[in-house]
């Protein structure tokens, strides 16, 4: 075994270093998919998420057109809240600012922290649904048995495609008491 046709170490080392770099880059790429996904969802409205705070320029309502907005409330994983919309539907004119509210009641004798996440359906409409004020922007702290109304102020964009006559705003209420650092 004097004449082995192995390659000199540097050639192998260089190749292995390059391949390891690819491995590291792909591990990073997996994480890069997270912001990438959010950006793509923002552009396409893919996951029904609405924009966060919106300083919608108010051009005034378009009286010639009426859109029905339906309100839905869900409690995730049977969390100990009663959670309901105060208005089930509203007729709105695109461009006008409207206010509605949701009511939540802590059914336990403990302090709770909740977080609501909004979703708009159909997906296409989510790009045209702007909230100027929403209880979903912050986490909501509840005293034992507290019962309160939480307001939402929204504008349906005047550019809403004409074939959309009604849309649904849905909130899911999550119990984040454990992860918010409160007992």
Partner 1 sequence: MSTTAEQLHDHHHEHPKGVLAWITRWLTTTNHKDIGTLYLWFSFLMFFIGGFMAMIIRAELFQPGLQVVDPMFFNSMTTMHALMMIFGAVMPAFVGLANWMLPMMIGAPDMALPRLNNWSFWILPFAFAMLLSTLFMEGGGPAAGWTMYAPLVLQTGDAFPFLIFSVHLMGISSVMGAINIIATVLNMRAPGMTLLRMPLFVWTWLITAYLLIAVMPVLAGAVTMLLTDKFFGTSFFNPAGGGDPVMYQHIFWFFGHPEVYILILPAFGIVSQIIPTFARKRLFGYASMVYATASIAFLSFIVWAHHMFTVGMPLAGELFFMFATMLIAVPTGVKIFNWVATMWKGAMTFETPMLFALSFVVLFSIGGFSGLMLAITPADFQYHDTYFVVAHFHYVLVPGAIFAITAAVYYWLPKWTGHMYNEFLGKVHFWASMIFMNLTFFPMHFVGLAGMPRRIPDYAVQFADFNWVSSIGAFGFGISQLLFLFIVIKTVRGGKKATSQVWEGAHGLEWTVPSPAPHHTFSTPPDVNLMHKEAHS
Q: What share of the chain is helix, strand, coil (3-state, %, to 5)?
A: 25, 35, 35
Which of 119, 107, 131 is closest to 71 using CA atoms? 119
- Asked if 39 interacts with partner 1 (CB under 8 A), we say no
How near is the Cβ of 146 to partner 1 at its closest, in Å?
19
Helical spans, DSSP H, in 79-132? none
- Asked if 53 interacts with partner 1 (CB under 8 A), we say no
Backbone φ, ψ for residue 136 (5° rounding): -80, -10
- 3-class secondary-structure state, position 168: strand
Q: According to CB under 8 A, which one of 107, 123, 153, 158 is a site residue for partner 1?
A: 123
Q: According to CB under 8 A, which one of 19, 39, 53, 59 is a site residue for partner 1?
A: 19
Q: According to CB under 8 A, which one of 4, 55, 78, 109 is a site residue for partner 1?
A: 4
Per CB under 8 A, which region of 34-42, 61-69, 127-135, 151-159 contacts partner 1? 34-42
- Asked if 35 interacts with partner 1 (CB under 8 A), we say no
């Amino acid at each position: 075994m004097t004449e082995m046709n192995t390659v000199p170490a540097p050639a192998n080392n260089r190749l292995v270093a390059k391949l390891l770099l690819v491995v590291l880059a792909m591990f990073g790429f997996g994480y890069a998919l997270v912001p990438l996904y959010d950006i793509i969802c923002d552009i396409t409205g893919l996951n029904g998420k609405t924009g966060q705070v919106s300083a919608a320029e108010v051009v005034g309502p378009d009286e010639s057109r009426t859109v029905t907005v339906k309100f839905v409330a869900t409690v995730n994983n049977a969390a100990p809240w009663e959670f309901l919309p105060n208005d089930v539907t509203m007729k709105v004119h695109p461009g006008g600012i409207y206010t509605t509210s949701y009511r939540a009641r802590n059914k336990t004798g403990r302090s709770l922290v909740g977080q609501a996440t909004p979703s708009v359906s159909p997906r296409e409409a989510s790009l045209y649904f702007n909230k100027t004020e929403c209880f979903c922007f912050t986490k909501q702290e509840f005293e034992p048995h507290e019962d309160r109304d939480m307001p939402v102020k929204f504008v349906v964009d005047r550019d809403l495609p004409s074939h959309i006559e009604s849309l649904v705003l849905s909130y899911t209420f999550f119990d984040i008491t454990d992860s918010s650092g409160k007992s």
